[in-house]
Amino acid sequence: MKRIFKTMHRDNKGFTLVELLIVFTLLAVLAAIVLPNVTGMIGFGQTQGAAAELDIVQTALDSMMAKEGLASVTATTATATMSAFPTGNPLYPNYLRVETTKGTYSNGTSGNVTQVTTGY
């Protein structure tokens, strides 16, 4: 009887249900470990991108004020359009390469730029 059973199942190749369950369990555990780390990196990248954009706008405004010899500028409300920022002395196209930014910015008369929204 054993011999007949062995000959019937000799050509069956594949995985057992237990082996498949173990593999799926391991994949689920790995996904549970990796997913929070990846989403944390995305948030960190957005924060760093917003900070870098603020630095770029502030540097452009400082350069414009130095080149034009301005001690103060007109205060501007929040905008993402650099062709209107700051009021009266736009940064685009002479000091920035792009007309619109991801975030919105405002400035005071002393030239300090404030990031109102990050755009993320």
Q: Which long-range contacts (CB under 8 A, 24 or more apart) does 95-99 make?
A: 95/60, 95/61, 95/63, 95/64, 96/56, 96/57, 96/60
Domain that holds residue 38: 18-117
First CA to last CA distance, the chain: 70
Residue linked to tokens 């960190």? 44
Return the ∠ at Cα 52 (arms to 51 and 56), rounded to 5°. Answer: 120
For residue 3, tell me if it sits in a domain: no
Specify if 8 maps to a domain. Answer: no
Tell me if 104 is assigned to some domain.
yes
Q: Is residue 13 part of a domain?
A: no
Whether 11 is in a domain gets the answer no
Q: Assign residue 7 a region: left if phi > 0, alpha if psi is -120 to 50, beta otherwise?
A: alpha
Q: Each residue of 58-102: pLDDT tens digit?
A: 999 999 999 989 898 988 888 989 988 888 889 998 999 989 999
- Residue 71 corresponds to which tokens in the numbers above? 């001690």
For residue 14, pLDDT beyond 60: yes
pLDDT in tens, 18-62: 999 999 999 999 988 888 877 777 778 888 999 999 999 999 999
- Report the number of distinct structural domains present in the chain: 1
Is residue 24 a part of any domain in this protein?
A: yes
Two tokens, residue 104: 């919105």
Is residue 69 in a domain? yes
* pTM, two decimal places: 0.66
